[in-house]
Every structure is written in C-alpha cells, then in structure tokens.
Structure 1
Amino acid sequence: MKLLITDLYKFGLFLFCLFASPLSKAQETIVSYVTKNGGRTAHKDSAEYTSILRIKPSEQGLYELNDYYQNGNLKRHGWVKTLDPMRLRLEGLVETYYNSGSLEATAYYSDNKRIDTVHRYYESGTLKEIKVYLKPQEGQKRPAWDGTNKLLLYYADSIGSIQVQDGNGDIVLPHDNGIDFEKGMYREGLREGRWEGSFRKGKYRFEEWYEKGIVTRGVSTDSIGTTLPYKERDVQPAYPGGVENLRRFAAQHYRYPKEAIRARVKGQVILRFVVDTAGNPIDFEIVNDLGHGTATAGIEMLKKSAKWSPGYQRGVPVRVAYTLPISLNMDPRPQQ
C-alpha cells in the first residue's frame, strides 16, 4: 500500500515551479546532454545537442549559455538568469544557428519572453523576416493565438523576393512540411482582411477574416466538404477549474513512493503527455526522473485526473502535447 506523503512529512508540491540545485564552487561550467523531448541523458551520443552553462556571471549578473549540435557547430548562444539547466530564463540577446553553422535568428528576451526586434534568415544568409514583439499592456490577457502581440515589418521568400515592406504587402507563408500555406495581406504590420490556406498536410482548407491582427471569423473545410466555423484560430486544452484546480488535485493525489521517502528525494520530475481530441491525457513520457519511482507516481496521478477540454486548430479538434514540471520538496514535520 502506498502512503500519502502528508502522512509522514510536510509535503510541498508546486506545479510549474522549479528549484535550482546547489553547485560546487570548483565548477566552471554545467554540461547537459539534451534529448529530443527536452530531457537529459548521461550519454552524449544519444543526445540531440549539448548545453553548456558558464557558472561565472557577467557584470549584469547573467550566465552565458552555449548549445552545440552533435557535429560541434554552435546551435545557440545567449544569456540566462538562473543556473538551473532545466529552467533557462533567457535574457538579452540570443542568437540561434543552423546545423551548417549559418545564422538563423537574432532575438531579444526579457525574463524568457521575446521583446523588441527579431531578425530571421534563410540558411543561405538571405534575410527572411523582421518582427517587432510588443509588451502586453498591464493586466492584458491574450488568447492562445494572438496576432496583435507582434508586428511583421519585412518578409522575403527564399529567393529574396520582398513581399512585405514597412509592414505592408501581400504574402504567401509556406509551412515547414512543404504542403501547407497561409496567404493574405499585412497592413501596418498586422494581418488584415481575408486569408486562406491549408493545414494538417492539406487535409483541411480554411478561410478567415482579420481586423487589425484579430480573427473575427473563420471556416475550415475538410476533403468531403464538411465545414467547421470558428471564432478563435487556436484554442488550447483546458483542465476543469484551471491550473489551480490541477495543483490541488496533484497535492491530494500524488503518492510519494516509500523508497523516495527513505531517500529523502527532493527536486523536479518532468512529464510529457498528450491531450487527445476527446480531452483524455495519454501517451505519457518521462522527461526528467528523480528515481525511486517518483516519475511513475506522477504518471499514475495524471491518469486519475479529470478529462480536459480538448484543443482546437481552426475549428478542428487536435492532439496537443504538454510538458508538466512537478517540483517535489520534503521537510520534516515540525515537532508539536
């Protein structure tokens, strides 16, 4: 029989909160081998890339970050606010590179959120786009997809033909899969008027209308002519009662394994799962495990959670992947 942690200890379980690990002063860098799903592995050969954090801070109190592809080429260079490799809070200028070594993008961050001007380049070196990210107004809440948080000032296709200049122009945006696209008009950096295109590898076509970057209405059509109207472009899955209710559920239903209690395990478990088109959490995957059965206990807890409201893309129910950090902290119960 598993014991609830609250039976033995004062249990601190906080979702979406991370704890930095203590570091040796003798260390100069923290080296992590990052897997495709964002987890960590002890084997460099099985990693997607290598991440190196320099422990000595800059004059601004930031820590230098360098990520490298398997071939040794630089993948990303920037600065972060914490020394926790699982919680990289980007700050200031961040540069990303293609596997070939050519510059992919330059962007500025404030507390891990893009701000100011972003430049993106094709692998050939041709300038692709210039966007300006806007700070949200105080108290402003934006939907899952919001076209008003950034302005597109410049866009050119892969052969250098300019489609948007000074925020204005007609544009065709190809998707990475080489099949889907979006086509429409930009005015003063924002989407305007009628847009059309396809998604989900051509299975659906859509028409939608914008006013100053905001979708006012849209309709998707599948291969047999069924139409699906919508008013929001993308809708994220939602847990009943919101994140706070999920926190309460986790605190009540996470069962700390006996082995972990004896080992006084403390740290962060990270789980990845998918919310399917019916709202069920499925396809559980362990990204980071503290051992002693702590990640398995997290999966068992999620399996007992309530059904979510599913996510939608342009009116079509879709599967959405989530990464869920669960930070565990045990302290002895104070003596009465």
Structure 2
Amino acid sequence: MRYYPVHLYKFILLLLITSFVVPSRAQEIMVTYFNKNGGYTAIKDSAAYTNIIRLAANEKGLYELNDYYPNGSLKRHGWTKVANPRKPQLEGTMETYHENGNLAITAIYKNNKLIDTLKRYYENGLIQEARFFTSTGSSSNEFLSPRHHSRLIYYADSIGRVQISNGNGAYEAKKNMDIEKGQYVDGLRQGHWEGTFNKGKNKFEEWYANGVLSKGMTTDSMGNVHPYTQREVQPEYPGGIKKLMMFVAQNYTYPREALRERVSGQLLISFVVEKNGMLNEFEVINDLGYGTANRGIEVLKKAPKWTPGYQYGMPVRVKYSIPIRLHTAPAPK
C-alpha cells in the first residue's frame, strides 16, 4: 500500500537528540546517527546516514554541518546557526550529493529559508532544473516548499534536452510510469496541464493562471471524476494538531514501572492516517522503555477519527509522526 509522507515541520515539535561529543585534534565534534525514518540510533551500522557538526563556530558564528552515507561518501555539507542535528538553522550555501559522489542539489539559505537560486542535478551529473526563490512573491505556485515562492527558470531531461529556458517552454517529465506536462510562462505554470499518477491508473487535468491552480479534476480507473482546487490536502485532526496533543496529555497514563524509575523524555510515534480517517501502522521511532510507547499508542487509538488527506482530489494514506513528552517531576503550580 502507498502512503504519502506529510511535511512534519508544519505540525510537530521535533524530538530532542541524543548525541555524543568526540574529541578531535583541532576541535570537538557532535556525531549523531540517523535511521531511515528520521529517528536516531546509537548503532552506527544501522544508521541511514551520519551527521557531524563541528562545535567551533567560524567567524560568522556558523557551525559546519556534514552528513555521510554508510559508505563514507559525503551526503550533505553546509552551515547552521545552531549546533542541533535534528533542527538546524541553515545559513549560506548547502550542497547535497548523490551516493555516487555527484552533486545533487545546491541551495542558498538565509535565516533557514530558501533564497536566490536552487539547482538540482541528475545522478549522471547533468543539471535538471534551476529555480529562483523569493520571499516577496505573490504566487503560491509549485509544491517544492509551501513556505516559499519560486519560479522555474531552467529544466532539462536526463540526457540534456532543454525544455524550459529563461522561465519559458513546454514541460514534460516521466517518472515511475507516470507523466506530467504543461506550459511555463515567466517561470510559472500557465494554462492547461495534464498527466497521470499511480502508475498510469489515474489521469488528471489542471488549469493554472500565473502559477496558481484554479481547478483540477482526476478521472480514476473506474471512470469516476474527482474535482479539486488543491493538489494536496493534508489530513486533519478535529480541532487541529494542538487538540490532539491536548487529548494525549489528558488521557495518557504512566505505566507503574515508568513512574517508579522516574522516566522522563520524549517518545516519537509514527502512524498512517488511512483513507477513512482511522489510524493504522503504528511505529515507535523513539522509545523510553517501561511500556511508555505502548501507552502512547493506546491513547492515539482512542482519539477521534481524522479527516483524511487528499491528493488530486482522491483520498490517500498519509504518514505522520508526533512527539509525546513525558515528565515525572511534580507539575509547577
């Protein structure tokens, strides 16, 4: 079954990181091992990548950040205003690399926000696209980052055939047996677009004006038509995510052993919001032990049903992660 991961920065406070400091000849470094679901692990061999932050800031007050693939090759290099591996405040140029060593992305950040020109590259080294980001744009076009506005100024296929130049041209991309095509004018989507998703089973049509989606419709494999005005709609808990956290806080009960051991910290539990709004496929990303994670799952199962997520006007499965902070000290008066 497919599910669509949600952009977690919109909804949750990130998990506190357990890292350790390793002395080096020149300066100290913070090393953190991350697994594939975004949690951390103490075992290097099970990590999807290793994050290393140098704790001596440069003349601009920035800390050097490097991520490495399991094979030792560089995954990402850049700078952060804070020495926090799970929630860095990116600043300046950030470079990401494919596992074969070729450059994947170059981007520029200011105050942890994309600015200026972002470039993507194929694994073969050819440039795929260049996109200009501005915080003053009035259009909410594209889906790369909902916090920023951007214009596509260049796009080429994997063999170097240019489709978009100076923000204008006919765009056509194929991925996983699906296709999407339409027109760009001044870096924004314009007019009629069409394509397929779910390996060609569903067809969609969309209409844009200056990069803004005005309407869309999907025809599924059974011939049913699903209209929409937003390509992606995230699932929603009744009253919002703050209401969910309040529900958890009011209904969570400590296991006796956890109380006896005065267990404190933060659980991180992921789950899938099904097409009918029910929760399923719970996974413990960070566990504090003594049955604390199981109690967290029990509370989430008792919570009211969600409004499901939609993509192209059709309900989809969406994966979430939420933190549950536990503290055994007496509550402040």
TM-score, structure 1 as length reference: 0.85
Moved more, 217-226 or 158-167: 217-226
1:253-264 alignment runs, 5 A limit: 253-264=251-262
Moved more, 118-127 or 25-34: 25-34
How far residue 123 of structure 1 moved from its aligned partner, in angstroms, is 1.7
In structure 2, C-alpha distance between the alignment counterparts of 1:86 and 1:32, rounded to whole Å: 9
In structure 2, C-alpha distance between the alignment counterparts of 1:261 and 1:126, rounded to whole Å: 57
In structure 2, C-alpha distance between the alignment counterparts of 1:255 and 1:111, rounded to whole Å: 39
In structure 2, C-alpha distance between the alignment counterparts of 1:292 and 1:68, rounded to whole Å: 33
Q: How many residues align?
A: 319
In structure 2, C-alpha distance between the alignment counterparts of 1:271 and 1:227, rounded to whole Å: 36
Check the 8 A contact 2:130/2:154 in 1, yes or no.
yes
Q: Which residue of 2 aligns with 1:66?
A: 66
Q: Do the aligned partners of residues 312 and 334 (structure 1) sit closer, same or farther apart at CA in structure 2, a change above 3 Å counting?
A: closer
In structure 1, C-alpha distance between the alignment counterparts of 2:108 and 2:251, rounded to whole Å: 40
Q: Do the aligned partners of residues 150 and 327 (structure 1) sit closer, same or farther apart at CA in structure 2, a change above 3 Å counting?
A: farther
In structure 2, C-alpha distance between the alignment counterparts of 1:290 and 1:84, rounded to whole Å: 21
In structure 2, C-alpha distance between the alignment counterparts of 1:123 and 1:15, rounded to whole Å: 33
- Structure 2 unaligned runs (5+)? 1-10
In structure 2, C-alpha distance between the alignment counterparts of 1:232 and 1:57, rounded to whole Å: 43
How far residue 203 of structure 1 moved from its aligned partner, in angstroms, is 1.3
1:16 counterpart (13, 26, 37): 13
Q: Which residue of 1 aligns with 2:195?
A: 197
How far residue 232 of structure 1 moved from its aligned partner, in angstroms, is 1.3
Q: Do the aligned partners of residues 159 and 64 (structure 1) sit closer, same or farther apart at CA in structure 2, a change above 3 Å counting?
A: same
Is structure 2 residue 203 aligned with structure 1 residue 187? no
In structure 1, C-alpha distance between the alignment counterparts of 2:172 and 2:34, rounded to whole Å: 35
Check the 8 A contact 1:174/1:181 in 2, yes or no.
yes
In structure 2, C-alpha distance between the alignment counterparts of 1:99 and 1:143, rounded to whole Å: 27
Check the 8 A contact 2:236/2:307 in 1, yes or no.
yes
Moved more, 294-303 or 184-193: 294-303
- Structure 1 unaligned runs (5+)? 1-13
Is structure 2 residue 52 aligned with structure 1 residue 52? yes
How far residue 132 of structure 1 moved from its aligned partner, in angstroms, is 1.5
Q: Which residue of 1 aligns with 2:104?
A: 104
Q: Which residue of 2 aligns with 1:39?
A: 39
Identity among equivalent positions (%) equals: 50
Q: Which residue of 2 aligns with 1:3?
A: none
Aligned-pair RMSD on alpha carbons?
2.8
Letter in 1 for 2:222: I
How far residue 219 of structure 1 moved from its aligned partner, in angstroms, is 1.0
In structure 1, C-alpha distance between the alignment counterparts of 2:264 and 2:87, rounded to whole Å: 16
Q: Do the aligned partners of residues 59 and 25 (structure 1) sit closer, same or farther apart at CA in structure 2, a change above 3 Å counting?
A: farther
Moved more, 75-84 or 100-109: 75-84
Q: Which residue of 2 aligns with 1:206?
A: 204
Q: Do the aligned partners of residues 65 and 209 (structure 1) sit closer, same or farther apart at CA in structure 2, a change above 3 Å counting?
A: same
Q: Which residue of 1 aligns with 2:83?
A: 83
TM-score, structure 2 as length reference: 0.86
In structure 2, C-alpha distance between the alignment counterparts of 1:52 and 1:82, rounded to whole Å: 13
Check the 8 A contact 1:148/1:213 in 2, yes or no.
no
In structure 1, C-alpha distance between the alignment counterparts of 2:280 and 2:152, rounded to whole Å: 37
The 3-state SS of whatever aligns with 1:331 is coil
User: Larger relative CO (CA 8 A, sep 6+): 1 or 2?
Assistant: 1
Letter in 2 for 1:169: G
Letter in 2 for 1:94: M
